[in-house]
Structure 1
Amino acid sequence: MQGEGSSPRAAPEAAVPFSGTVTIFFSDIRGFTDYTEEFGDEAASRIVHEQDIIIRSQIEAYGGVVVKTQGDSFMVAFSAARGAILCAIAIQRIVAQANRDQAGPRIAIGIGINTGEPIRQEDGDYIGGTVNLASRICAAAGSGQILVSESTRYVAGRIELRRSDGGVVEYVDLGLHELKGFPEAKRLFEVSWHPAVVGEQRVSAEAPSADEEGQQALKAAVQKANSVLARVLSVVHL
């Protein structure tokens, strides 16, 4: 993740098309560092690859673009705040479903989201306070948690879901939080998500990606998760 004391900045994967107001999404695996220390780099690399399968399918389905990855962390850009939130919910639901089907240790992902006007560089990367805050919010997120900034919460607004999905995205005001590198406390909101009902695996909203292609992508990701996460879940310790 980007911020003070981090390793050198990773190169972006591709030129990102978004400019102006952009929503930045960070995710990473909880417990990953401890696992790497205990089992080594090769085993850790396998986990990162399998997380890759899940996350990338949802990023594409919800209109996001991977800016870069670093270790177990994803940095993603979205043109729409609601797309970032729906993507995060879909990822957590896939992981939760896979975890329900497995015994023993379970994988956990924390997600942080912030909306603003980051500085877009020539190589397609983003830098600046918007990115730094998104990274810090992700660091504050617990296992299976989705945290968003105040700006993301209000830009996204009310997001309608299927009734079986809970009806509407709920934001829980967690109050002000002190985050490293920011002199003023930041108000954070938790996005409450409900495990998908069997047979209702797609999060539905007016936009983005409520089309059949997105539904097929999620279904394929769920099936893939159930097969590959058996290995992941046996080694990631919360």
Structure 2
Amino acid sequence: MLTTVIVLATALALTSAGWLVTDLRRRRARREVQRLRRALDRRDSLTHQRPAARAMRAVVGTALDAAVRMRDEGVGVVVKSSLEGLARWSQEDQSQLARLAGDDGRVAILFSDIEDSTVLNDQLGDAEWVKLLASHNKLVEAAVLAHDGHIIKSQGDGFMIAFGSAANAVHGALDLRAAIEAGDRRLRRRPIQVRVGVHVGTAIEKDGDLFGRDVALAARVAAEAVGGEILASDAVHDAVADIPDLHLIEAQTVELKGLPGTHRLWAVDTAN
């Protein structure tokens, strides 16, 4: 009997000690969160809520909120909630890409990049190159927005963009070329040449990216272009043949790496 009492008393003491340690950890975590929030508030007052400061505060604030929720609700609940949020984001992104596709399920795919970008980067240095890229990227984004496109991804100086129709893609490419030629102050001081390839077809969407034979074909078409040139596939030529303000000139017949047969490419120009 005495042994049992001793065992129960020991267990109770250990449980109480464990509860005290957990409570102390919670209190310590709560104090740390409060301290960090006060530091952020002081930073805001010093920076007068500049955009960069607001963005940083939002990111850190989200992390702090997650920490508080983990403390109060447990890791499992927070992780489950985060996964549900990611699933909703993925579904929204997929529906946006689905809305771009035409009635036949096809989408126009455009690839662009800056000619001799590696050489330019070496000549300008990293700091100036990044500023040049920022000017270029703004013009790309404006052309895409003007023609209801969707930037799938950007890697360095290159873009992969989807449009709802071949006509929108070609008009967007022409607007981009004109904007690059006009340039902003930085681009007028250091002109660049952008090469573009356009194809229309079907694609598989996964995690916000596009895959498939037609995506690869669009990339290969872009690789054949030189700076300032917009090349289009036969499929694009056929799709815009009846649009009076678009004029495509037969440019070349080539073999495209990884794709069988030969492929006729068309150079895009404005109508005479």
The reply to whether TM is greater than 0.5 is: yes
- Structure 1 regions of 5+ residues with no counterpart? 1-11, 161-167, 196-238
CA 1:173/1:25 → structure 2, altered by over 3 Å: closer, same or farther? same
The answer as to whether partners of 2:135 and 2:187 remain within 8 angstroms in 1 is no
Q: Measure how far apart 1:95 and its partner are.
A: 1.8
Answer whether contact 1:32 1:44 (CA < 8 A) is retained. Answer: no
Partner of 1:141: 225
The Cα of 1:183 is off from its aligned counterpart by 2.5
Partners of 1:155 and 1:102 in 2: CA distance: 33
How far has the Cα of 1:74 moved from its partner?
0.7
Report the residue type matching 1:171 in the other structure: L
Provide the residue aligned with 1:185 in structure 2.
Answer: 262
Partners of 1:31 and 1:48 lie apart in 2 by 13
Residue 160 (structure 2) pairs with residue 83 (structure 1) = no
Aligned to 2:97: 17
- Name the CA shift for 1:193/1:107 in 2 (closer, same or farther; >3 Å): farther
AA aligned to 1:184 is: G
Letter in 1 for 2:236: T
State TM-score, norm by structure 2.
Answer: 0.59
Query: How far has the Cα of 1:44 moved from its partner?
Result: 2.2
Considering fraction of residues, name the structure with more helix. Answer: 2
Q: Deviations over 1:46-80 (max 9, x none)?
A: 22211111110110110100000001001000111
Compare CA radii of gyration and give the structure with the larger one.
2
Q: What's the offset of the Cα at 1:105? A: 5.2
What residue in structure 2 maps to residue 69 of structure 1?
Answer: 154
Distance of 1:95 and 1:169 partners within structure 2: 19
CA distance in 1, matches of 2:266, 2:212: 21
Cα distance between partner residues in 2 of 1:36 and 1:103: 17
Deviations 1:181-212 (A, max 9, x none): 223111100011379xxxxxxxxxxxxxxxxx
1:1-238 equivalent positions in 2, closer than 5 A: 15=94, 16-18=96-98, 19=101, 20-98=105-183, 106-121=191-206, 123-160=207-244, 168-193=245-270
- Code of the residue aligned with 1:53 in structure 2: it is K
Q: Check conservation: 1:148, 1:188, Cα contact below 8 A.
A: yes
Unaligned runs of at least 5 residues, structure 2: 1-89
Where has structure 1 moved over 6 Å in runs of 4 or more?
101-104
Q: Is the 1:88–1:111 contact (alpha carbons within 8 Å) kept by the matching residues of 2?
A: yes
Q: Compared with structure 1, are the counterparts of its residues 111 and 103 closer, same or farther at alpha carbon in structure 2 (3 Å cutoff)?
A: closer
Opposite residue 149 of structure 1, the aligned amino acid is S
Which amino acid in structure 2 is aligned with residue 40 of structure 1?
A: G
Distance 1:103 1:48 in 2: 13
| Counterpart code for 2:97 | P
Q: Is this contact kept in 2: 1:23–1:84, CA < 8 A?
A: yes
Q: Over the residues paired in the alignment, what is the CA RMSD in angstroms?
A: 2.4
Deviations 1:108-137 (Å, cap 9, x if unpaired)? 11010000001112x121101111111111
The one-letter code matched in structure 2 to 1:142 is V
User: Is this contact kept in 2: 1:113–1:148, CA < 8 A?
Assistant: yes
Instruction: Report SS of the residue matched to 1:175.
Output: strand
Measured after TM superposition, the shift of residue 28 of structure 1 is 0.7
Name the counterpart of 1:235. Answer: none
| Total equivalences in the alignment | 174
Cα offsets for 1:61-110 (capped at 9, x unmatched) = 101000000010010001111000001111111222339x9877521110
The one-letter amino acid paired with 1:192 is D
